[in-house]
Structure 1
Amino acid sequence: MRILVTGGSGRLGNVVVRKLVEKGNIVRVFTGGDHLHEKSLSGVPVEIYAGNLLDKGSVTNALEDIDIVFHLAAKIILAPDKDGSVWKVNVEGTSNIAAACLAKNIRLVHCSSHHALNKYPLDKPMDETRELALTDPTAYHRTKAYAEKKILDLVSQGLDAVIVNPGTLIGPYDYEPSILANALLDLAKGKLPAIMEGLSDYADVRDVADGILLAAEKGKRGERYFLTGAMLSMLEVSNLIEKITGRKTTKTILPLWLMHALLPFIKIAAKINGKEPLFTKEMLEAAQSPKEVIHLKAEKELGFKARPIEESFKDSFDWYKAEGWI
């Protein structure tokens, strides 16, 4: 098959592309003109298409002779969308891809996030039946919700699309490094004297990539599938890193109410130092999560499997070491 992958050089994209190529597919990688692919896809036989998701003509041209599209491109930040770029990339870019797929009758696999759905109430298990988080205070989460809405609106008009919702990605093939990798490295290096209270779902990037390919093959039109893994608290993450690396990590936990109280001072310090804030209101919001995020639907309908999370963290730190980051 001839396949287009947007964001194909990124954190998840490069793993998906590798798996597609291994299966004998011809892959075109849609990039925004950056050169990340020169490292993340070095030696992988792909066609590079430098385009612009916000240019409908560019998107249409990228779909020439394509059988299926994997839309993984997104702008991920846990900070305010000051310049509107998060909305433009995540919502308008997605809308352009979806509309072009509908016009050309091409199947679309859209990569969203489980954060695109309303996480409240926190005391009940979270699955694909939650409502879209259209009023979420975090721009990234909110834009992913609106992107899903765009997809589903076009499904009602005939678009053949399936949606996948990964958890927070952990594992190897992290070339940038990612936001999470930087945080884990700081924790391992003892740069964080304390950690915040909170929970997050961690999913191995290799398992998520497998799930995305399964969704393309078996996913039902108009359905979404959680591709999540294991829920861990920050203390559990800290303990796991200490066990894997042998490095002593902090066990001091700051409650979220205290973190919120410190926000004004963090902003002032960041402005004085000319650096990004150590944490933001959006980060604190993202730290709140249901205790359980369920991926049973993907297991039953797609055959999705999540490996032990300890293996994923170990492989992550093996990767960081090989990259010379630790």
Structure 2
Amino acid sequence: MAARQTVCVTGAGGFIASWHVKLLLSRGHYAVRGTVRDPGDGKNAHLKALEGAGERLQLFKVDLLDYDSVASAVAGCEGVFHVASPVPSSRSTNPEVEVIAPAVTGTLNVLKACYEAKVKRVVMVSSVVSVGVNPNWPKDKAFNEDSWSDEDICRKNQDWYYLSKTLAEREAFAYAAKTGLDIVTICPSLVIGPLMQSIVNASSKILLNYFKGDRETVENRLRNVVDVRDVADALLLAYENPEASGRYICNSAPIKVSDMINILKSLYPTYTYPRSFVEVEESSTYSSDKLQKLAWTLRPIEETLRDSVESYRAFGILD
């Protein structure tokens, strides 16, 4: 049995982080500190109910913009998983304050606390949005870890979330270069999969929209998606593998919207789905070859879609 390790997960009540906390607790040898805005909030109840949580999970009240609260959660940890990041639900009126500052300043506060606490490795969740806004990338080539999103284009298009993820990831590697802190980033595509709580996150809403029947026609775009449980696996692989370094794109095989809906129809024929599709000439794809070299494996898309729907039904989100 491996020796007990204390690790911290920021934004522990979020979609990805919740599954990651569950994975860490299931391993038996991790004691987990989860940062949340309010440990007593009912939306964190699902974490306290996890197997092993009673003995090995502590929730810390942390504001990522308050360095001292971050440092108190990180002190004494061997590893940190920085998962928290603001995801705006609508167009921001003050993006610098509402989206960019929390992402960048919050990340730097976490990294500074990790450096001061002599944390062995930080694994940070970024996104493929920090990879794929790159007009200079060859059109017929899948994006890989060498590509960075163009910050000027993100600003021009007012893609503030894209910009926040790009800036935060760049700042992380700049901090690593300056201090020697061991930082690895995971860049997932659209994260879907079963919910652990009744709160529907932004990416799950995209999948749920296919069931509403209020849009007869949808764009038949190529979707880059990944199962939330596979993202959790990637975070742990990146932490535990000594050879892991730099960035890792985390994406399954791209799938057309029409193919996703056909799978859902075959599993759940009684819902009302879009009836027709408009073909879209857009085929950005992302290569996870580097991550797969760490022995990362993927669930079948059918399993992801089925488990997602079953969780929506269990929480009464789908009638």
TM-score using structure 1 length = 0.83
1:16 match = 20
Q: Equivalent pairs: percent with the same residue?
A: 27
| Structure 2 residue identity aligned to 1:57 | D
Equivalent in 178, 192, 203 of residue 170 of structure 1: 192
Aligned-pair CA distance for 1:58:
1.2
Matches within 5 A, 1:102-121: 102-106=115-119, 107-120=121-134, 121=137
Aligned partners of 2:169 and 2:128: how far apart in 1? 11
Aligned-pair CA distance for 1:212:
0.5
Aligned-pair CA distance for 1:320:
1.1
2:128/2:249 contact within 8 Å kept: yes
Equivalent in 194, 204, 223 of residue 246 of structure 2: 223
Aligned partners of 1:41 and 1:141: how far apart in 2? 32
Helix, strand or coil for the counterpart of 2:254?
A: strand
Aligned partners of 2:202 and 2:149: how far apart in 1? 24
Q: Does 1:250 align with 2:250?
A: no
Aligned partners of 2:148 and 2:207: how far apart in 1? 31
Aligned partners of 1:317 and 1:165: how far apart in 2? 25
Aligned partners of 1:56 and 1:289: how far apart in 2? 41
Unaligned runs of at least 5 residues, structure 2: none
Aligned-pair CA distance for 1:314:
1.0
2:126/2:187 contact within 8 Å kept: yes
Aligned-pair CA distance for 1:219:
5.6
Task: Report which stretch shifted further, 137-146 or 242-251.
Answer: 242-251
Aligned residues: 294
2:9/2:35 contact within 8 Å kept: yes
Aligned partners of 1:50 and 1:312: how far apart in 2? 32
1:194/1:252 contact within 8 Å kept: yes
Q: Report the RMSD for the aligned CA atoms in angstroms.
A: 2.1
Task: Report which stretch shifted further, 10-19 or 247-256.
Answer: 247-256
Helix, strand or coil for the counterpart of 2:171?
A: helix
> Which deviations, in whole Å up to 9, do the C-alpha atoms of 1:90-142 show, x marking residues without a partner?
11101111122122221211110111113444432111111244232311111
Question: Given the superposition, is the C-alpha separation of residues 189 and 10 from structure 1 closer, same or farther in structure 2, using an over 3 Å criterion?
Answer: same
Matches within 5 A, 1:84-103: 84-103=97-116
Question: Given the superposition, is the C-alpha separation of residues 294 and 209 from structure 1 closer, same or farther in structure 2, using an over 3 Å criterion?
Answer: same
1:54/1:93 contact within 8 Å kept: yes
> Which deviations, in whole Å up to 9, do the C-alpha atoms of 1:214-251 show, x marking residues without a partner?
00011646511111112123323322222221134113
| Structure 2 residue identity aligned to 1:226 | I
1:65 match = 76
| Structure 2 residue identity aligned to 1:68 | G
Aligned partners of 1:18 and 1:174: how far apart in 2? 10
Question: Given the superposition, is the C-alpha separation of residues 220 and 153 from structure 1 closer, same or farther in structure 2, using an over 3 Å criterion?
Answer: farther
1:119/1:126 contact within 8 Å kept: no
| Structure 2 residue identity aligned to 1:74 | S
Aligned partners of 1:85 and 1:113: how far apart in 2? 18
TM-score using structure 2 length = 0.85
2:76/2:117 contact within 8 Å kept: no
Aligned-pair CA distance for 1:311:
1.3
Question: Given the superposition, is the C-alpha separation of residues 185 and 221 from structure 1 closer, same or farther in structure 2, using an over 3 Å criterion?
Answer: closer
| Structure 1 residue identity aligned to 2:25 | V
Aligned partners of 1:148 and 1:184: how far apart in 2? 27
1:298 match = 291
Aligned-pair CA distance for 1:182:
2.7
1:241/1:249 contact within 8 Å kept: no
1:279 match = none
> Which deviations, in whole Å up to 9, do the C-alpha atoms of 1:246-301 show, x marking residues without a partner?
134113335779xxxxxxxxxxxxxxxxxxxxxxxxxxxxxx551x211010111x
Helix, strand or coil for the counterpart of 2:15?
A: coil
Unaligned runs of at least 5 residues, structure 1: 258-287
Q: Which runs of 4+ in 1 moved over 4 A?
A: 219-222, 254-257
